[in-house]
Amino acid sequence: MPLRVAVTGGTGTIGRQVVEALLDRGDAVTVLTRDVQHAAELFPHAHPVAWTDSLHEPAPAEAFNGRDAVVHLAGEPIAQRWTADAKRRIRDSRELGTRNLVGGLRAAEPRPRVLVSQSAVGYYGPHGDERLDESAPPASGDYLSDVVAAWEREAQAAEELGMRVVRTRTGVVLSESGGALAQMLTPFKLGVGGPVAGGRQYVPWIHMDDVVGVILRALDDESVSGALNVTAPEPATNRELSKALGRVLVRPAITPVPAFAVRLLYGEMATIVTTGQRAMPARLLELGYDYRHPELEAALRAAVRS
pLDDT digits (tens, 9 = 90+) for 254-272: 777 777 777 776 788 878 8
Taking each helix axis from N to C end, the angle separating 84-107 and 143-156, rounded to the nearest 10 degrees, works out to 10
Question: pLDDT for 182-223, tens place per residue?
Answer: 777 777 776 767 778 888 999 999 999 999 999 999 999 999
Contacts of 202 (CB under 8 A, 6+ apart): 129, 235, 236, 237, 238, 276, 277, 278
Confidence grade of residue 274 (pLDDT, cut at 50, 70, 90): confident
Specify whether the CB–CB gap between 120 and 64 falls below 8 A: no
Distance CA 219, CA 266 (A): 36
Distance CA 40, CA 105 (A): 23
What count of other Cβ atoms lies within 10 Å of the Cβ of residue 134?
Answer: 19
Per-domain boundaries in the chain: 4-171+207-231
Distance CA 10, CA 23 (A): 12
Position 229: which residue type?
N
Distance linking the first and last C-alpha atoms of the chain: 29
Residue 123 has pLDDT above 70, yes or no: yes
Q: Which residues face 166 on adjacent strands? A: 116, 226
Distance CA 111, CA 162 (A): 9
What count of other Cβ atoms lies within 10 Å of the Cβ of residue 187?
Answer: 15
Question: pLDDT for 15-50, tens place per residue?
Answer: 999 999 999 999 999 999 999 999 999 999 999 999
Distance CA 3, CA 98 (A): 22
Q: Which residues face 226 on adjacent strands? A: 166
CATH number for region 4-171+207-231: 3.40.50.720
In the chain, % of residues over pLDDT 70 = 99
Cα dihedral across residues 137, 143, 144, 149: positive or negative = positive
Is pTM beyond 0.85 here? yes
Residue 306 has pLDDT above 70, yes or no: no
Contacts of 157 (CB under 8 A, 6+ apart): 99, 102
